Amino acid sequence: MVNRRAFLKTSASALPLARSLESLHPLTEAGSDAPTNLGTAAPILIALPDRLPALDRASLPWQQNVRRVAQSNMTEHDPAVMNIEEWANFWHSADADIVFVSVTGILAFYPSKVQFHRPGKFLAGRDFFGECVAAAKKRGLRVVARMSPDLNWGDALEKHPEWAMRNTDDSVQFSPEEPRLFRTCMFSSYMDDYIPAIIEEVNTRYDVDCFYTNGWPPIGRLPNCHCAICSKLPPSNTTAYWRAFNDRVLELWQRYDQLAKKKKPDSFFFANLGGNVHAGPNLDRLGKTAVWFQADNQGRTYEDPAVWGCSLQGRVCSAVMDGKFAANVTAAYSTGSVHWRNLSKNPAEARMWLNETLASGMAIYFHFIGSEDGIGEDRRWQKIGAEYFQWAAKHDRHLTPRRSLANIGVVMGQSTQLLYQAPAVTRAPAFMRETTHGLYETLLSGRFAFDFVHEDRLQADRLSKYRALILPNVAMLSDLQCQQISNYVKSGGSILASFETSLYDENLRPRADFGLGDVLGISRSGEVIGSNGNSYYGRIERAHPILAGFADTHWLPGAQNRVPVKPIAQPVLTVVPGFVQYPPELAYPPLSHTEEPAVVLRERDSSRIAYFPGDIERTSWLTGHGDLARLMHNTIRWITGEESLVSVEGEGFIEMFAWETEPGYAVHLLNYTNPNAHHGWMNSVYSLGAQTVSLRLPTGARVKSVELLRAARVLPFRLEGGVLRFVIPQLQDYEVAAVTVS
């Protein structure tokens, strides 16, 4: 779907020509196919906030000082062949802080007395888990006891048929890969009795630091079980079920956490998480409970092919954890639609996932499947992980974020992502996934600094840092959430919304009209309209800053689908309804002019409000059309008043993060200018030229140095009128500009 534009859109070789052409033609005359991240006016730099008070890291919970997480996922065969000393030496020499060691629940790696916790066939009475824990502790490594509650064997099923997930015909749900294993139901006594028994046994016998469950809760979906217990619950695709699911997740989480703390007060429980904006558990509720966010987001898949998948997950973690610990699991092995779980993936791809982990504020975490000596038959991943960990360890102070520096907030509609079904006319089962990637790509190509904001965290004190909020088809919003957004606008904030935003309440009940209708200045005039042949067009009615760069055309592309809204005064764009694209003899509009707006723009004092009736972000993702990207870039710049906290000017397709750190500030640049940015793994790095970084420092801040952490060099800089400027001369796959201030 997206291969056709992955490289050509941002090819480094094409950019100098584009820039030279732009120098001959002002932006207002540039063709719409000009690269959308070039030729725009420099943003208005607003001052960074006053620096946070000094932080005593020694006073923090121990896990918040963990920066490097290691895991050699153990197999049943490892007790027969693994060299525990070599395993522990490798991770210690790589500067890991903590290692995962398998307890499981499917196969016991120690002589367990818990019924149905069967020993692996190569265990032979050995305490393999205990030996690994002792070897790690001897080297100063902390230990996570890793468990798997999601599957079990036939003898357990025979004794406890109530433990199994069931299909609608009451048949047992088995593992699709290993049919001897059945899938366990999270609402059954399996989670109330069996898993706590293992936690208590391990906690009594061993010196572990915390407990983790793999495979539960589900990532990016809700379970679909029809056992005797679950059949009494609401249907699994409803908000009522989601509430019951979340209640159960929190109930078990808190119970397991209490068990973990029985031996050590600073121990804790955490579980498998991830799914980014499409996560299963309510991340607002979970973020208030969890002290460790385990982002099981190991690599790209065919369904989520974009290279920024790890960064997206990091933004989600930042939105819900309030500075508590988050780590992203980078698989050293070959992830994807075709699996080779015991083979290393491409080095460039593995490093980029680690780059994104650090850049987005998470702790790095490298993971492989153990074999022979616990390191693996394929050892190529070792050099990647060890070198990366060792480099990061040298720069912990600069790589540990304290606060994001962004003035745009993207509202993360988790309930919409999980439960909303796009109108049938859209014919789009992956509608919200495509919407998210479309907006994300737009923000990256426009070089905007932005955060995610969870829909349940729209309180005024959380929103006050943002000049603008973006609502990408956040269809489900409660009356309270609508009021919070309205209050934000009344206080001077700006918003950009699209498509069915606020047309449903928090229970997925459709509203007669937009919940944000008064704020957006809109009222619906009909049901969603799709396309038949040509999608609709937007006719330019009058000049406006969102139309900068468009010349020699009266029409612009519209989205694939739209919600028709009532006419407004002085529209900027109006709808030219869709018509057939074939045969060409009929490819003309029967009605070439209407009063239906294709965008609605308002200004209220210092607030600017924009609404696109179409699924513009998703359409941009599906097509890669430069006009749509330019239109969104212009609109985002308009609602923000061209203001920015950080500016990075240069060529190429990059992602930017800016953080306040203990020594000062860190600007992270991720180079996605690559033919495999949208699909497939990166095989090599396509380097970029100079990138100019600008920041307006808070009053009184003095710059001591600017250092490039990857290039290992100190940069010259200018500080004029409070604005710090420096040039990164070359960008490989990743660079961190560390600014030390006094």
Q: What is the mean pLDDT of residues 667-679?
A: 96
Domain edge (last residue) among 359, 376, 401: 401
Is 143 within a domain? Answer: yes
Q: Are residues 394 and 357 in the same domain?
A: yes
For 443, phi then psi, to 5°, come to -65, -35
Instruction: Please state, rounded to an integer, the average pLDDT across all residues of the chain.
Output: 92
Longest dimension (CA), the chain: 81
**711, pLDDT greater than 60:** yes
Number of domains in the chain: 3
Q: Are residues 106 and 204 in the same domain?
A: yes
Query: In the chain, what are the helix, strand and coil shares in percent, each to the nearest 5?
Result: 30, 25, 45
Tell me the pLDDT tens digit for each residue of 172-201: 999 999 999 999 999 999 999 999 999 999
**25, pLDDT greater than 90:** no
Confidence band, pLDDT 50/70/90 cuts, at residue 220: confident
Is 159 within a domain? Answer: no
Q: Are residues 507 and 640 in the same domain?
A: yes
Instruction: At 22, list the tokens.
Output: 């732009």
**Residue 195's CATH number:** 3.20.20.80
**15, pLDDT greater than 90:** no
Is 380 within a domain? Answer: yes
Confidence band, pLDDT 50/70/90 cuts, at residue 676: very high
Confidence band, pLDDT 50/70/90 cuts, at residue 379: confident
For 365, phi then psi, to 5°, come to -150, 120
Q: Are residues 613 and 682 in the same domain?
A: no
**16, pLDDT greater than 60:** no
What's the confidence (pLDDT) of residue 371? 56
Q: What is the mean pLDDT of residues 386-402?
A: 97
Q: Are residues 603 and 717 in the same domain?
A: no
Is 556 within a domain? Answer: no
Q: Are residues 652 and 637 in the same domain?
A: no
Is 463 within a domain? Answer: yes
Q: Are residues 364 and 477 in the same domain?
A: no
Domain edge (last residue) among 350, 382, 401: 401
Q: Are residues 33 and 93 in the same domain?
A: no
What's the confidence (pLDDT) of residue 368? 87
**Residue 615's CATH number:** 3.40.50.880
Is 176 within a domain? Answer: no
CA dist 232 and 740 (Å) reads 59
**37, pLDDT greater than 80:** no
Is 582 within a domain? Answer: no
What's the confidence (pLDDT) of residue 20? 30
Residue pair 616/628 in contact by the 8 Å Cβ criterion: yes
604: β partners: 607
Is 591 within a domain? Answer: no
Tell me the pLDDT tens digit for each residue of 601-656: 999 999 999 999 999 999 999 999 999 999 999 999 999 999 999 999 999 999 99
In terms of DSSP H, where are the helices of 361-499? Answer: 380-394, 396-399, 414-419, 431-445, 460-463, 479-490
**339, pLDDT greater than 90:** no
Confidence band, pLDDT 50/70/90 cuts, at residue 27: very low
Q: Are residues 311 and 374 in the same domain?
A: yes
Q: Are residues 461 and 520 in the same domain?
A: yes
Q: What is the mean pLDDT of residues 672-677?
A: 96
Share of the chain above pLDDT 70, in %: 94
Tell me the pLDDT tens digit for each residue of 479-503: 999 999 999 999 999 999 999 999 9
Confidence band, pLDDT 50/70/90 cuts, at residue 3: very low
- Global model pTM greater than 0.75: yes
Q: Are residues 240 and 274 in the same domain?
A: yes
Domain edge (last residue) among 401, 429, 449: 401
Q: Are residues 131 and 81 in the same domain?
A: yes
What's the confidence (pLDDT) of residue 686? 97
Residue 451 structural domain: 406-529+564-571+597-644
Confidence band, pLDDT 50/70/90 cuts, at residue 5: very low
